[in-house]
Amino acid sequence: MDIRIDEFIQRLKEMHGEPRCELAFTNPLELTVATVLSAQCTDERVNRVTAGLFKKYTTLDDYLKVPIEELEEDIRPTGFYRNKAKAIKNIVREIKDRFHGEVPRDIDTFATVKGIGRKSANMIIGLAYKVPAVIVDTHVIRVSERLGLTREEDPEKIEKDLRRIVPVDMWTDLSLLLILHGRYICKAKRPECKRCLLTKNCEYFKKGLGTE
């Protein structure tokens, strides 16, 4: 990459503002549930659902005791609600049984929970506990490849590449900014290259694949 990483991040901030997660949450459990619900669903819709959900369910036991059919109905607008309800129950059960009722603070450990995985573990622990984390979602996969930050396709290999070239204290900020960039400018089908401040450093654009 022919640009310093701090300058790279500054340009992303100029386009998207300060790094941020667009899911609404107030604690690690809420972020865990919101992350599950966000699969194949917009953050905006998830936030509409969780505005009421997080008033009804405040503890692990609330999720464990409720009939799964009721939980399914409560999260139905997020789509794939049966799978998501099952995942939520499995996750909160493991949090209670394996981790004494607290979302663990170690990414590698939390990633072993069925229904979480490494991407979600990085996101939840990185944001809830302010632990440096590289969050590799579909946006980060696409944008980091287009910008030449990695040549890998596997999320774990991409995570390793980004860890290698980015200072630890910038891991989370870069991840959030890449997600915002992929969501609002460097879109999958029609990237809005005219609005991008990184075209001079973008391999995708240099190859003539971007929009003029």
Cα(163)–Cα(139) distance, integer angstroms: 17
Q: Which helix (H) or strand (E) holds 205?
A: helix 203-206
What residues are annotated to the active site?
119, 137
Identify residue 144 by its one-letter amino acid code. S
DSSP class per residue in 157-171: HHHHHHHHHS-GGGH
Instruction: Report how many helices (DSSP H) and strands (DSSP E) the chain contains, helices first.
Output: 12, 0
What residues contact residue 68 under an 8 Å CB cut-off, 6+ apart? Answer: 85, 86, 89
> What CATH code would you report for 5-19+136-206?
1.10.1670.10
Q: Considering the entire predicted model, what is its pTM?
A: 0.93
Predicted local confidence at residue 162, as pLDDT: 96
| Rg, Å, the chain Cα set | 18
Tokens of 137: 């979602």
Domain boundaries in the chain? 5-19+136-206, 28-128
Per-residue pLDDT tens digits for 178-196:
999 999 999 999 999 999 9
For 166-177, how does the pLDDT look when each residue is reduced to its tens digit (9 = 90+)? 999 999 999 999
Q: Which residue has the higher pLDDT, 23 or 206?
A: 23
Residue type, 58: T
What pLDDT sits at residue 1?
57
Confidence of residue 14 (pLDDT cuts 50, 70, 90): very high
* Residue 53 contacts residue 75 (beta carbons within 8 Å): yes
Architecture category of domain 28-128 in CATH? Orthogonal Bundle (1.10)
